[in-house]
Amino acid sequence: MIAPGAQAPDFTLPDQDGNEVSLSDYAGRKLILAFYPLDFSPVCTDQLSIYQEVLGEIEERGGAIAGVSVDSAFCHAAFREKLGLTIPLLADFHPKGAVCDAYGAFLPDYGTSNRSLVLIGEDGAVAWSYAAPTPMEIPGANLIFDALDSGA
């Protein structure tokens, strides 16, 4: 997992609508990258639903959040619509998992990312990171709030 203090690896990925989203689009803002294995799995559905429920609180703390998985933009669009999400979902589809890997969240034995959170500060450096012990464990919203509230 990428360590706090490291410069956040740059990326440009398509979102659920096929629009290119880059790290630089969030310059001067705190960004939580929420890595998750796959759209439509039961645990991922719960994870993204939780983050959607607390999106207002994340924004009140000065943060933005984007989900990242190895699924395609088309899959992200269907997943987002099914769950009623407004959180952008970024497709690390090709080359598969390259951004997940750059952040230390890729699980090569499974071909997916682990459930991981990375807070990128306004300066573009990693302020905080967390990797779930297993892909079956959802990193709770409290971890996000604690990271944002700590001034990280």
CA distance 98 to 93: 8
Q: Is residue 44 flagged as an active site residue?
A: yes
Using CA of residue 136, residue 49, residue 24, residue 76, what is the dihedral sign?
A: positive
CA 132 to chain centre: 13
Q: Which of 21, 31, 32, 44 is catalytic?
A: 44
Return the H-helix or E-strand segment holding 75.
Answer: helix 73-83
Residues forming beta bridges with residue 20, ordered by sequence position: 14
Residues annotated catalytic, as ranges: 44
